[in-house]
Structure formats: C-alpha cells, structure tokens
A and B are shown apart, each in its own frame.
Chain A
Amino acid sequence: MDIIQLALVIIVTLGFALLFGKYLARMIVYEVRPLEKTLGRVENGFYKIIGIDKYEQMTWKQYLYALLLTNGIAAGFVFAVFMLQNYMPLNPMPAFSGDLAFMQAASFVTNTDLQHYAGDQQLSLLSQMVSLIFVMFVAPASGIAAAFAFIRGFIRKNFGLGNFYVDFTRIIITLLLPVAFFSAILLIAMGSPQTMEPSITTGTIEGKSQTMVTGPVASLESIKQLGSNGGGYYGANSAHPFENPTGVSNIFETFLMLVIPFSFPIAYAHLLGKGRGVSILAAMVIGFGVMLILGLFHESGPSGVETRFGSFGTVLFNVASIATNTGALNSSLLGMNHDAIISLFVGMFVQAIPGADGTGMMTMIVYIILTLFIVGLMVGKTPEFMSMKINPKDIKLAVLVFLAHPALILIPTVVAYTTGSAESLFDKSTPLSFTQILYEFTSAAANNGSDYLGTAANTPFWNWSTGLVMLIGRYLPIGLMLAIAGSFTMKDRKEIVEPIKTQGPVFVGILVVVTFILTALTFFPVLAMGPFSI
C-alpha cells in the first residue's frame, strides 16, 4: 500500500512537472502559451493599472530593487493588518504586539511562514483572508520571478533579465492563481471548509455544545502548499482535519508542494539543454530520496501523529514539506523518529532538493558553480559553465550565498545561548532542547517555516531574531544570485566543448557528493551536539 502511494506521488509529480516545466520555459522566454491571446489581454490590463511598459528590461539591480520594494510594501500591509485587526470587521481579534507583527510580516513575505501564534485563536477571518492569502501569492511569485531572471542570465549574451513587474504579474495571474483556484475546489471536495463564517457551533451527540473555527480554509490551503508557503490557518497546520481532512488530501497536498520546484529543472532542460536539465532533476531526486529513506527507516508516532495519515503518510508529507521549504507539518515534530528529524535538518541545510518555488532551483545552480570550481581546481582546468568563464567574482558571490546560510543559523544560535534566551524556554539544557533551538534558526534561515518551538517562542528576543534571520536569509542570497545572473548575461559564449560537462551520471554523482560533503562539513558539529545525541 505504502509503495503504491509513493509510486503514485512520484509518477504524478513528475508527470505534471513535465507539463508545468514546459509552461515555465515558455513564460521565461515569452513564448506562446495555451490561451495566449486571452492571457495576454488580461495581463495587458494589469500592466495598464500598474503603469508599466512590458517591453522595458531591467538590470539586475533594478530587478532586485523592484522585488525588494514590492515585498516591502506587501510586508508593510501585512504588518498593518496584524497591528490593527482589532479595529477591522469579520470577527475582530486582539492586535498583535509590535514584535510579533514584525516577525510574522517578515515570515510570510519571505516565504518562510514560521508562526509564533496559533491562527485559529489569534487571527481574525479578515487577517487570514486579505493579508495571509494575499502574501502567500506574493512570496512564491517573487521567488519564481527571481529564478526567471536568474535563468535568463544564462540563456544568451544580453538576452535581458526581464521586468520584475511583468514576471510577478504573469506568475500570479497565469500560474499560481489558476492552479490554486482549482486545487482549492478539489480540497473542498475532500472536506476542507470554505465559508465566510468565522466559526460554527453545533451540538454533540451527548447534547453538549462544540464550537469550531472555520473560514476560507481551502482557498488558503491550496496556495499555502502550491506556493511553498506553509503557514497554517490553524495552529496545528496540516495536522488539523480541516486543513488536511483525509489520506487523499494528504497526498494531494504533498503533490502541490512538489510540483513547481520539480518543474524548474524541466524548464531548464527546455531552455539550456536537455541533458543539463535532466541531470539537475536527477540530483534533486537523489537528494530527496536520501531524505525520504532516512525518514522512513523507523516508524513515527503514534503519539503526535494523526491516525488518518499513519507513519508513512506523515513522513512522506513532512519530508516533502521540508525538502520544498514549505514547512507545513502534518504531525507534531515530537512524534517523529530521530532519523526523520535529521533528514529534515539535511533538507533545510541544502535548500535545493528540490527547494522552494524558484529559489530552490537558483540554489542548485549555485551548487553547480561551486562544484565546477572545486572540480576545476582538482583537475587543473578553468571552471566554465555553459561555455562561459566563471571568474573569481562569480565564485566569491557563489561562496557568499553558501556561507550566508550557516552564518545565519550558527551565530544566532550562539547568541540565543549567550543571552540566556534559549535556556529561558526550557527547564534545563538537553540535546533535545539544543535541537529545538537549532531547528528554529535553521528553519528561519532556510525560509522553511516548520517549527519546533511554536507559540512558546512568542517573546521579543525570538520574534526580532528570527524575523531578521528570515529577512537576511531570503534577500541576501536572492541579491547575490541576481548579481551572478547580471554578470553572466554580459559574458561572451565560446563555441567550444565545456572542459567539465554539467550533465550525465558522473556529473550528477559529483554534484550530489559535493553538495552533501559541503553541508556535512559545515553542520556536522552542531548535528553531533543536537539530534545525534538525543
């Protein structure tokens, strides 16, 4: 049974990734899509309102600036709604404190969705709908847009990185919104509520009364999963039966998380060579497979695990969620076996197997550049990528992308311990409590959002620190990677065979090994102190 389930997820995901990958490729190079005329007309309407010229190209700096500005305004809106929700209609709730509102606005706009509050108890229906659902489109659309610009940097000299507003609009209107819409309807059919009533009160069989929080759950759930967001309508996230009602919805939601990240290597294959794209896909599948095998090695639950998912459905969902940096969990992490926890750490350390919508692919290309550099050093050849010379500046940028991640995890962890903020959450320090602290910052830095601390972390220290880590963890790598794209788009392409091929089984093997070794070398000491010692 479990094997059939797994096989179906893999087949359906890869099948749809083939379709979506082709579609993404057409979006990246502005080729004709299905229903192009209609889509084009709708998009032109949006461009008119936004007030942009769709043919205007941006430099990498302009692209980054437009992305930051749009994200900043969206975050400001989310912050304002959280601070003022007590004055707003639709079952007003008490306003968030300033530090919590800052942390949550940063969390949602960076595609992290770490939550230091319980949605069903602390957010009004209006906040859930107008601020959360909205920002759950903004965050993945920004990540995918950045990846579009990044990939355009490699296509050919001076192809142009594109226009952020054009990409952002097209990604929301012609990709995320239609898929989220149909998925939301399917989720309703599977049992997820969708109503404008903030709660329903019913009797029980024994004649008592029971109140359940409801709302536009299905419409949030679909974009939460599809957009690698992960922020739950309920505090229990995807473990809550209204968010994830059955085994069927569990698998469907798993598929939604995986489909866009796995579509990117297919798009890459269409644009930059079939072999190269398929090789990246293979590396991602291998990495994901390692996580899955590690997670499935021992049973999880039954404590902390929902009956309708069982151990297998729990591990499958959670590994897919962490691997795609979605971060929605369908169980309590305390119910997961130790190896599964280590597997989740690996996914968040690597961030590219397959990683979040858009940024996962970008991170994978950075690993390729680093691999070419390391292999180039070993065999004594100048590193080249797509027949372009990789110069020292590109390598420095790629190394910075790689180093930003451990810095954002390890330094705050140390700060949390030296300031006593870590100990204040627990009675005493144990490998488990260290694991939970490490997990919190790893999840924040990777823009993952799964949490081990939950509402206990709603203190000024944890709100400000994780908020900052999420912002830097999102925008620093995106900025550096766009700079890399800006450098590559101006390079001359040579008509010679690459000294080190970036395709084929040998390269896939080296890429996977280098990625895992780099990660292991960086994080082994803390893993030894934490999850290995529990």
Chain B
Amino acid sequence: MALSRNTSKIVSPAIRVTVIMIITTGVVYPLLVTAIGQTALPYQSNGSQVMLDGKVVGSKLIAQEFDSPKFFHSRPSSDSASGVDPDITVEEANSQILSISDATGIPVNTLKTLVELDMERNRNANAIVFAPDYVNVLELSVELVKNYPQAYQQEINGEK
C-alpha cells in the first residue's frame, strides 16, 4: 500500500509535466510563432514566393529546373547538399552568359550587368561579410523576363 502510493506520487508529476510541456512547447509555441509570422512576415512565412506578371513562379529559396537554353541553369541537384540549392557562383553564371546571349539575342554586357546586380543584392542581404558572392537563379531569370518579355514569350506561356 505504502509502496503503490509512493509510486503514484513519483510517477504522477512525470506524466503531468510531460502533458503540460506537450501543450506548451508542442502546440502553443509553434502556433504563436505561426500567428506572428503570418501577420508580420507573410512573405517569408509562406516560403518567399516570387511573382511574375501576377503569377507565382516558385520560391526564391528553392531551385527549379529550366529546360530552355535561354535561362541560367541551377546546379545539378546531385551536386549540392540540399538538392535544391537556389544559387550558383558568379563564375558559374558568367560561364553561361555566352550561350544565353546566343539563344536570346540579349547583349553579353547586359547579361553581365544583370548578374552583377543580383550578386550585389545578395551581398547586401548577407551584410557583405556573411556569405561568399553568389547569384540567385530564379531572381535573375525573373529580371530577364521582365526586361526582355519579347525574347521569352514562348517560354513563359509554356509553348515550345
């Protein structure tokens, strides 16, 4: 009798503390962060979605595959750790410029400038010192389409 009362006295707080912490840390905490995130930072909270002509064309943070030779290409997914690395190095971007210029007719110097501008944007987003220089492929592609809608008419309408 004394033993079982002792046992329940010891076991009861362990069960209670688990239940109260499941509610506090497993339910209330993530829901509260979600409420604040969705209210104050809806763009990031919903996956940093990139818009083009009023349509969502992907997430800035997730690489997408491009078939057309008119776009910059992400790394092969097997090459990066995440498989969805959205960025390429500046050297990699520059090495693709010639063929993109050929396919689109956009001057090489303009492409170089667009790469530079995107690199600068990322530099600022990383407070300059926190990351190496890189280019975000989706952002760069959106800039291309915005600046040269004629050249990309087929691609963005899904026609080949």
Interfacial residues, chain A to chain B (CB-CB below 8 A)? 1, 4-5, 8, 46, 49-52, 65-66, 69-70, 72-74, 77, 129-131, 133-134, 137-138, 165, 168-169, 172-173, 177, 180-181, 184-185, 188-197, 200, 202-208, 210, 212, 214, 216, 218-220, 223, 234, 236, 239-242, 245-248, 250-251, 302-310, 312-313, 329-332, 335
Measured CA separation A331–B127 after assembly (Å): 22
When the two chains form their complex, are residues B62 and A250 in contact, meaning their CB atoms are under 8 A apart?
no
Closest chain-A Cβ to B11's Cβ sits at a distance in Å of 7
Measured CA separation A335–B13 after assembly (Å): 47
Residues of A within 8 A of B34 (CB): 194-196, 216, 219
Give the residue name and chain of the B residue nearest to A189 (CB). Answer: B41
When the two chains form their complex, are residues A307 and B80 in contact, meaning their CB atoms are under 8 A apart?
yes
Measured CA separation A47–B33 after assembly (Å): 25
Residues of B within 8 A of A74 (CB): 18, 21
Measured CA separation A307–B128 after assembly (Å): 15
When the two chains form their complex, are residues B156 and A206 in contact, meaning their CB atoms are under 8 A apart?
yes
From A192, A202, A219, B30 is in contact (CB under 8 Å) with A219
B117 located at the interface, meaning its Cβ lies under 8 Å from any Cβ of chain A in the complex: no
B116 located at the interface, meaning its Cβ lies under 8 Å from any Cβ of chain A in the complex: no
Interchain residue pairs with CB less than 8 A apart (16): A134-B21, A185-B40, A189-B41, A193-B44, A194-B34, A202-B57, A204-B57, A204-B58, A204-B64, A205-B71, A219-B33, A240-B82, A247-B132, A248-B131, A250-B130, A310-B131
Count how many chain B residues have C-beta atoms less than 8 Å from C-beta atoms of the other chain. 78
From B13, B46, B83, B132, A310 is in contact (CB under 8 Å) with B132
Residues of A within 8 A of B157 (CB): 207
Closest chain-A Cβ to B134's Cβ sits at a distance in Å of 5
With contact pairs A5-B130, A191-B48, A206-B66 given, residues A137 and B25 touching in the complex (Cβ less than 8 Å) = yes
Measured CA separation A191–B48 after assembly (Å): 7
When the two chains form their complex, are residues B10 and A66 in contact, meaning their CB atoms are under 8 A apart?
yes
With contact pairs A165-B13, A181-B33, A205-B71 given, residues A236 and B81 touching in the complex (Cβ less than 8 Å) = yes
Residue with the greatest number of chain B CB neighbours at <10 A, chosen from A1, A188, A212:
A188
With contact pairs A46-B20, A210-B62 given, residues A205 and B138 touching in the complex (Cβ less than 8 Å) = yes
Residues of B within 8 A of A204 (CB): 57-58, 64-65
Closest chain-B Cβ to A220's Cβ sits at a distance in Å of 8
When the two chains form their complex, are residues A242 and B47 in contact, meaning their CB atoms are under 8 A apart?
yes
From B30, B75, B142, A216 is in contact (CB under 8 Å) with B30
From B22, B26, B130, B142, A248 is in contact (CB under 8 Å) with B130
Measured CA separation A236–B120 after assembly (Å): 28
When the two chains form their complex, are residues A203 and B57 in contact, meaning their CB atoms are under 8 A apart?
yes
Closest chain-B Cβ to A79's Cβ sits at a distance in Å of 13
When the two chains form their complex, are residues A133 and B56 in contact, meaning their CB atoms are under 8 A apart?
no
Residues of A within 8 A of B58 (CB): 202-205, 210
Residues of A within 8 A of B55 (CB): 203
Closest chain-B Cβ to A100's Cβ sits at a distance in Å of 21
Residues of A within 8 A of B62 (CB): 210, 212, 241-242
When the two chains form their complex, are residues A194 and B45 in contact, meaning their CB atoms are under 8 A apart?
yes
Chain B 33-71: CB-based contact to A (< 8 A → 1; otherwise 0): 110111011001111110010011111111011111001
Closest chain-B Cβ to A142's Cβ sits at a distance in Å of 11
Measured CA separation A305–B132 after assembly (Å): 12
B3 located at the interface, meaning its Cβ lies under 8 Å from any Cβ of chain A in the complex: no
With contact pairs A130-B26, A206-B155 given, residues A308 and B134 touching in the complex (Cβ less than 8 Å) = yes
Residues of B within 8 A of A208 (CB): 64-65, 158
Q: Lowest 9 CB-CB distances: which A-B pairs, in order? A: A247-B131, A207-B158, A134-B26, A239-B81, A247-B130, A310-B132, A194-B37, A241-B61, A307-B87
Interfacial residues, chain B to chain A (CB-CB below 8 A)? 10-18, 20-22, 24-27, 29-34, 36-38, 40-41, 44-49, 52, 55-62, 64-68, 71, 75, 79-89, 122, 125-132, 134, 138, 141-142, 145, 155-158
Closest chain-B Cβ to A203's Cβ sits at a distance in Å of 6
Residues of A within 8 A of B79 (CB): 302-304
With contact pairs A212-B59, A305-B81 given, residues A130 and B18 touching in the complex (Cβ less than 8 Å) = no
Residues of A within 8 A of B127 (CB): 248
When the two chains form their complex, are residues B145 and A205 in contact, meaning their CB atoms are under 8 A apart?
yes
When the two chains form their complex, are residues A70 and B30 in contact, meaning their CB atoms are under 8 A apart?
no
Closest chain-B Cβ to A350's Cβ sits at a distance in Å of 26
Give the residue name and chain of the A residue nearest to B63 (CB). Answer: A241
When the two chains form their complex, are residues B126 and A248 in contact, meaning their CB atoms are under 8 A apart?
yes
Measured CA separation A305–B12 after assembly (Å): 48
When the two chains form their complex, are residues A214 and B131 in contact, meaning their CB atoms are under 8 A apart?
no
Closest chain-A Cβ to B37's Cβ sits at a distance in Å of 4
Residues of A within 8 A of B83 (CB): 236
Closest chain-A Cβ to B59's Cβ sits at a distance in Å of 6
With contact pairs A205-B52, A308-B87 given, residues A193 and B47 touching in the complex (Cβ less than 8 Å) = yes
Residues of B within 8 A of A210 (CB): 58, 62, 64
When the two chains form their complex, are residues B14 and A4 in contact, meaning their CB atoms are under 8 A apart?
no
Measured CA separation A303–B78 after assembly (Å): 8
From A202, A223, A335, B59 is in contact (CB under 8 Å) with A202
Measured CA separation A134–B27 after assembly (Å): 8
With contact pairs A219-B30, A250-B130, A304-B80 given, residues A192 and B44 touching in the complex (Cβ less than 8 Å) = yes
Known: A191-B48, A196-B31. 14 other contacts (CB 8 A): A4-B129, A69-B14, A74-B18, A137-B25, A188-B45, A193-B46, A195-B34, A195-B46, A204-B57, A206-B158, A208-B64, A208-B158, A218-B33, A242-B47
Residues of A within 8 A of B122 (CB): 308
Residues of A within 8 A of B85 (CB): 241, 306-308
Closest chain-B Cβ to A331's Cβ sits at a distance in Å of 5
With contact pairs A241-B61, A241-B62 given, residues A305 and B80 touching in the complex (Cβ less than 8 Å) = yes
With contact pairs A70-B17, A205-B156, A306-B80 given, residues A177 and B131 touching in the complex (Cβ less than 8 Å) = no
Residues of A within 8 A of B20 (CB): 46, 49-50
With contact pairs A205-B64, A250-B131 given, residues A200 and B49 touching in the complex (Cβ less than 8 Å) = yes
Closest chain-B Cβ to A186's Cβ sits at a distance in Å of 10
Measured CA separation A248–B130 after assembly (Å): 6
Closest chain-B Cβ to A169's Cβ sits at a distance in Å of 7
When the two chains form their complex, are residues A50 and B13 in contact, meaning their CB atoms are under 8 A apart?
yes
Give the residue name and chain of the A residue nearest to B123 (CB). Answer: A247
Residues of A within 8 A of B141 (CB): 205
